[in-house]
Structure 1
């Protein structure tokens, strides 16, 4: 922290980046049961959720550090209305690509309650308990990959004079990257935390989807750092 200012210099790729903490928010993308919990949508279709499970603790540490210095926390929540009208209808690409994932299907929650896959107001779209929002945090629902598509996110950030976003969440190559791309188009400065983002799809070597997305982001859409460097910079 520079004396007399709220600006920190964060060690990042491809170069260090200055962040004005007075105009910065932490953006948590889709850390919810359907993606990161046993019995959720991903787990039910056999997608390995271990990469998402591994980023929960570093993300929790980032949220604690951010709250300790007063950074606002904004959560994105992927969900659809009970009637699925906001999926675009049966013939839409969104519906077609999500058909095998069972969006809208009635399923039991782990505690036996009735729930539905990726539907608002159910266990499936609840946030992971370890990362649950606290008083004062903001929740922005969305129904497409990008957090900016037909949502209030841009208004929420503009109303708070936010220009810097520290991004965590899942999945790296889909909802995280889509949101970061749209943020960059709106002139937000995004720093994606590599150890607080996860990609369970196409993780074959030599390069994973996670790594490919981080490379694209650091080259063209923003910067890439990690939880340890951010927490250390905030502590300074």
Structure 2
């Protein structure tokens, strides 16, 4: 690659970055957005308050349009036996999700309602070891607008598995966050290039609104 060509141009020339578009039957999937990521001083605190506020707005737009809302959450028994090698790799961090730890709770400003679906998981992807794919297929969902944390971790893993299960993954850029801007940017770039459509929250809200009626 010559010095004059940008990374964007190189990837485009190779054929990366195609668009999957918006399907007809979406759901909003909120990945792990809870107290662990929003509590200053916590091991997983990520400084993602702006993305959290955008996710609240997305949830309101989904509710107004009758779009199903799905939350994923993490929970382990003390010691993390369900998490296997993942828990063993980062026990201090994943201990935030041990049963009874308040960091594992949803933020009161964004909690599931009785009409929402809640997926409890033990690994990065909301699909791995859960019945999420079956639930989505049963409801005829073809598209997932994905918000949450972190982009390099559970959001990325969930988007990749969504693609593999036949759902269009829409990564909502301003509703997904990470603890480092460079990591955030690199993962959004790679997701857009290979696995998902990276979109803005305003576009998703208009998409939801257009489904009414």
Measured against the shorter chain, the TM-score band is 0.7 to 0.9
- How far apart, CA to CA, are the structure 1 residues paired with 2:92 and 2:119? 26
- How far apart, CA to CA, are the structure 2 residues paired with 1:153 and 1:233? 23
State the TM-score, normalizing by the size of structure 2: 0.83
- Contact kept, 8 Å, 1:41 with 1:118, in 2: the verdict is no
- Contact kept, 8 Å, 1:172 with 1:210, in 2: the verdict is yes
- Contact kept, 8 Å, 1:41 with 1:124, in 2: the verdict is no
In structure 2, what is the equivalent of residue 107 of structure 1?
Answer: none
Matches within 5 A, 1:174-185: 174-185=153-164
In structure 2, what is the equivalent of residue 118 of structure 1?
Answer: 97
In structure 1, what is the equivalent of residue 207 of structure 2?
Answer: 233
Query: Across the two proteins, how many residue pairs are aligned to each other?
Result: 194
In structure 1, what is the equivalent of residue 191 of structure 2?
Answer: 217
Q: Which ranges of 4 or more aligned residues in structure 1 deviate by more than 6 Å?
A: none
- How far apart, CA to CA, are the structure 1 residues paired with 2:73 and 2:33? 8
In structure 1, what is the equivalent of residue 23 of structure 2?
Answer: 19
- Contact kept, 8 Å, 2:171 with 2:198, in 1: the verdict is yes
- Contact kept, 8 Å, 1:148 with 1:182, in 2: the verdict is yes
State the TM-score, normalizing by the size of structure 1: 0.76
Residues 1:98 and 2:94 are matched in the alignment: no
Q: Give 1 or 2: higher strand fraction.
A: 1
Q: For the structure 1 residues 157 and 121, does the alpha-carbon distance in structure 2 shift closer, same or farther, using more than 3 Å as the test?
A: farther
Q: Give 1 or 2: higher helix fraction.
A: 2
Q: Which runs of 5+ in 2 are unaligned?
A: 1-16
- How far apart, CA to CA, are the structure 2 residues paired with 1:121 and 1:95? 17
Residues 1:37 and 2:16 are matched in the alignment: no
Q: Which runs of 5+ in 1 are unaligned?
A: 1-12, 44-48, 105-116
- Contact kept, 8 Å, 2:27 with 2:69, in 1: the verdict is yes
The two structures, once aligned, show a CA RMSD in angstroms of 1.9
Matches within 5 A, 1:68-79: 68-79=64-75
Matches within 5 A, 1:113-152: 117-152=96-131
**Helix, strand or coil for the counterpart of 2:90?**
helix
Q: For the structure 1 residues 14 and 131, does the alpha-carbon distance in structure 2 shift closer, same or farther, using more than 3 Å as the test?
A: farther
2:49 to 36, 48, 53: 53
